[in-house]
Amino acid sequence: MIITMTLNPSLDRTLVVDRLARGAILRTSEPTLEPGGKGVNVTRALALNGIPSIAILPLGGREGTELHSMLAEAGVNTRALAVSGRTRSNITIAEHDGTVTKLNEPGSQLHDHEVRALADLVASNVSAGDWIVMSGSVPPGFTSEQMKMFAAGLSAHDVHLAIDTSGDALIAGIEARPRLIKPNRAELAEISGRALECLSDVVDAATAVRDRGVEMVLVSLGADGAVLVGPDGVVVGTSRVEHPRSTVGAGDSFLAGFLSKFSVDETDVDAAMLEALAWGAAAASLAGTSVPGQSDIDFTHVRLVWQPDLDRPLLAS
């Protein structure tokens, strides 16, 4: 089973405009409203492809009630904790040329008893050998110490921990020695304290993170593909999106695709990487924070690079 923990979920509203112009009055498309939060997106993608997953998350206020209803209607297996704060709402503005602007609310603070209740909720739903994905931003006031304790508590259940967050939360999560982290280029650069100009920089930075006790570092690089640095070496893959629409949530589908294979067969890392690339590319071709189903996923434009040019400059972020 793959279980996701989303500490700061959201309702995501997507609007499409011809061109975003600051200070102007713009006409938009009809809004698209979807469940949001990185862990929620991982479970949505897995569920849509028939892979068992449970999304655990705090929900509060009218937005939380609406989010819970949307997840139920989509057939997403959810364990929700009612909290005193209000679930946040995010706005995505997508332009026809593929440019995306996101306006993300901070969310509401979780009280100590609510954090403990979430940890108890996870403990009551996991079994030994499960994967737990701790993913997304953390709510205001959630400290590095809380992150360390929360992540360490998850690891104590004899499960496989994957972390996909950023900033101080990611640095704190690494101290819990998760099996897997999934940073993007900017996040890996931040935690490594170095600029990542080429693939060799990415590999070196990921290797340094592994030296801190992380087994696998799975780096999503957008148009530059992806890199996995693990105990069996380095795997580099590329993908092409012919008609990109929105990259929001593509990294979550990328991670879901990887775990969909790796969680059942750890011996075939190459297959897991190809699955990740195909799911991520499919998500980028969909509007808003939509996740891909089986009919969307196409392996035609994904491949592994057996002799990559590690000194090739990466594209601009």
Q: What amino acid positions are annotated as catalytic residues?
A: 252
Closest CA to 58 of 103, 109, 105: 109
By the 10 Å C-beta count (0-12 exposed, 13-18 middle, 19+ buried), 253 is classed as buried
Q: Which of 9, 106, 110, 16 is nearest to 63 (CA)?
A: 9
Across 221-300, the runs of DSSP E, i.e. the strands, are 226-230, 233-239
* 132 three-state secondary structure: strand
Tally: H helices and E strands in the chain: 9, 14
Cβ contact 237:218 at 8 Å: no
Give every CB contact of residue 46 below 8 A, 6+ residues apart in sequence: 2, 52, 53, 256, 259, 260
In whole angstroms, give the CA distance from residue 270 to residue 119.
33
